[in-house]
Amino acid sequence: MDTGSHESMSFREGIDRMVDRASLAIGLNPETAKVIQACNAVIQLKFPVGIDGNVEVFTGWWAIHSAHRLPAKGGLRFAPLVNQDETEGLAALMSYKCAIADIPFGGAKGGLLINPGDYTEDQLRKIVRQFTMELARRDFINPATNVPAPDFGTSSREMAWIADTYKALFPDDVNRDACVTGKPLNRGGVPGRTEATGKGVQYALQEFFRHAERVADAGLSDGLSSQRIVIQGLGNVGYHAAKYLAEEDGSTIIAIIERDGVVVNEDGLNVHDVRQYLAETGGLKGFPAGNYSAQGEQALEMECDILIPAALESQVHAGNAMRIKAKLIVEAANGPVTYQADEILRERGITILPDIFVNAGGVTVSYFEWTRNLSHMRFGRLQRGLDELRGMNYLAALESLTGKQTPENLRREIMRGANELDLIRSGLDDTMRMAFRDIVEMLRHHPNISDYRTAAYAIAINKMAQSYYELGLAEPL
């Protein structure tokens, strides 16, 4: 697949240009913009691991873009095309994302140059343990300073291995569980983290559709239930976003693009069945309830209402941006639209909800997991019983005053104390709503800004500039 050979700048440079654009719009001092753009630290590791009697040398990176807030937080990516420029760019996106979602973290990112599919589970565990040791020994994994999370090519399984390795190295660190987020539930994880990014994509879209004038501006009508969606990448983020949008909002997923091509069904695909088929066969070819084509990249250009790229960066680039027909692009992946493509799409009036807002659900719930690990107590433990008691008293008072019985379904709801998943979902929904409203406010009050990406960047760099100013590192705003 073409990942942007039409571009004249690297991934990280493209992100810097987006910052430049927003800085210009809000009149930020160029020197301050440079402070914000600079990647604070990056480490490259080359480490040997014995694999079946041979020794292989692996290359990995950890980039800290900003450390004005700690820990620096970012996903750990395992992919065969990882490089330093990409890792630095993704770390920068994390800084801006945390600022928009009001998460008190700096931005970081990790990468390991590997095709995980080439290794057995035992071999992968060995590689992850060694990578963790190399990073932790240099303080690049630590609950107070550097906390990775799952990203492309990694999941709760790898996070469990990281946590276990850290625990073996630092057993007397009482906060050791907080050295990584996205862990399995029984190893310090929280309910709702696995699906958090996809759920956040759904909440972002739900909030967008609550703003009728914004929906109309994008050339869309009606609610989420009448939208026809094309999604690229049915991994963690893409699967959960597509599943919730189809099952809970009634949207129609008309095409799913994966590594080996695309499957199309204008009447709607069953996301769960496609995922199952993908897991069993390793591809989409032959999926019975849709038409398969090996031309996955071309399917990005399909006629649809919403395009959700949820795989990798630079999928919409200068070479195909002119042919995109979606009215709304929702960036579930990091950086799926290049800077040059963004310029073309803006010119063409196509609306884009940017990655630094749309996929902030992952780091938001990671933040909840980190704070829960530090508190060593599950959310709601102290107040759930009290909430239930209040509900019962409220019901009793209501029924004695009215002389009527409350219907059973309402009675159950009123008497139920929120469980941990309820609290996490509520915090995630609230974060996505507030972030979108901030973006809309910026658009409303800033005459120089007319697109969501520039508005989102303007919010992020404003907050970061203020933070650097307070530290004496930037000019006053």
66, 197, 227, 252: residue in contact with ligand NAD (rule CB under 6 A): 197
Closest distance to ligand NAD from the beta carbon of 290 (Å):
15
Q: Which is nearer to ligand NAD, 143 or 335 (CB)?
A: 335
Count how many Cα atoms sit within 13 Å of the Cα of residue 109 in the half-sphere of its side chain: 26
**Among candidates 299, 179, 134, 170, which has minimal Cα distance to 233?**
299
Q: Which member of 37, 334, 351, 364 binds ligand NAD (CB under 6 A)?
A: 334
Catalytic one of 73, 97, 109, 243: 109
Strand 228-232 and strand 252-258: the pairing is parallel
In the complex, the smallest distance separating the C-beta of residue 124 from ligand NAD, rounded to whole angstroms, is 14
Q: Which secondary-structure segment (H or E) carries 48?
A: strand 41-51
Q: Give 477's Cβ-side CA count (13 Å radius).
A: 14
Nearer to ligand NAD, 75 or 143 (CB): 75
Q: How far is the CB of 406 from ligand NAD (least distance, A)?
A: 40
> Which phi and psi angles does 228 have, rounded to 5°?
-105, 120
Asked if 456 and 23 count as a contact pair (C-beta separation under 8 A), the reply is: no
Per-residue DSSP letters for 332-376? Answer: -SSS-B-HHHHHHHHHTT-EEE-HHHHTTHHHHHHHHHHHHHHHT
Nearer Cβ to ligand NAD (39/90): 90
Q: Does 14 bind ligand NAD (CB under 6 A)?
A: no
User: Which listed range, 27-35, 223-231, 305-313, 316-324, lies at the site for ligand NAD (CB under 6 A)?
Assistant: 305-313
Which lies closer to ligand NAD via its Cβ, residue 25 or residue 182?
182
Examine residue 233 and tell whether it contacts ligand NAD (CB under 6 A). Answer: yes
CB of 216 to ligand NAD, least distance (A): 29
Residue linked to tokens 């630590």: 142
Q: Would you call 109 a catalytic residue per the annotation?
A: yes
431 is a contact residue toward ligand NAD (CB under 6 A): no
Q: How far apart are CB 417 and ligand NAD at their closest, in Å?
A: 28
Alpha-carbon span 350 to 327, nearest angstrom: 5
Q: CB nearer to ligand NAD: give 294 or 473.
A: 294
Determine the interface stretch with ligand NAD among 30-38, 138-146, 253-261, 408-416 (rule: CB under 6 A): 253-261
Residue nearest to ligand NAD (CB): 235
Torsion angle defined by CA atoms of residues 345, 346, 352 and 357, in that order, rounded to the nearest 10 degrees: 130
Which window, 125-133, 164-172, 327-335, 423-431, contacts ligand NAD (CB under 6 A)? 327-335
Q: How far is the CB of 312 from ligand NAD (least distance, A)?
A: 5
C-alpha distances out from residue 145 to 63, 184, 382, 434, Å = 12, 22, 29, 27
Bridge partners (DSSP) listed for residue 231: 256, 308
What's the burial of 228, exposed, middle or buried (CB within 10 Å: 0-12/13-18/19+)?
A: middle
Q: How far is the CB of 293 from ligand NAD (least distance, A)?
A: 13
* 237 is a site residue for ligand NAD (CB under 6 A): yes
- Residue of 259, 323, 376, 444 that binds ligand NAD (CB under 6 A): 259
Q: Of residues 74-103, which lie at the interface with ligand NAD (CB under 6 A)?
A: 75
Q: Is 201 in the site for ligand NAD (CB under 6 A)?
A: no
Residue 289 neighbours by CB under 8 Å, 6+ apart: 265, 269, 270, 273
User: Residue 250, SS3?
Assistant: coil
- Could you tell me which stretch among 46-54, 207-215, 308-316, 431-439 binds ligand NAD (CB under 6 A)? 308-316
* Choices 28-36, 132-140, 330-338, 465-473 (CB under 6 A): range interacting with ligand NAD: 330-338
Structure tokens at 445: 């009050």
263 lies in the site for ligand NAD, by CB under 6 A:
no
Q: What is the DSSP letter of 416?
A: P
Q: Are 118 and 39 in contact (CB under 8 A)?
A: no
Report if residue 312 touches ligand NAD, rule: CB under 6 A: yes
Structure tokens at 476: 């006053």
Give the binding range for ligand NAD (CB under 6 A) out of 17-25, 124-132, 234-242, 402-410: 234-242
Site for ligand NAD contains 362 (CB under 6 A): yes
Q: CA-CA distance, 190 to 184, in Å (whole number)?
A: 8
Decide whether 179 or 474 has the Cβ nearer to ligand NAD: 179
Smallest gap from Cβ 383 to ligand NAD, in A, equals: 28
Q: What angle do CA 99, 103, 107 make, to 5 degrees?
A: 65
Measured from the CB atom, the residue of 429 and 468 that comes closer to ligand NAD is 429
Residues comprising the chain, all counted: 477
| 364 contacts ligand NAD (rule: CB under 6 A) | no
Cβ(1)–Cβ(332) below 8 Å: no
Binding site for ligand NAD (CB under 6 A): 1, 75, 150-153, 197, 232-238, 257-259, 296, 310-312, 332-334, 359, 362
Catalytically active residues, by annotation: 109
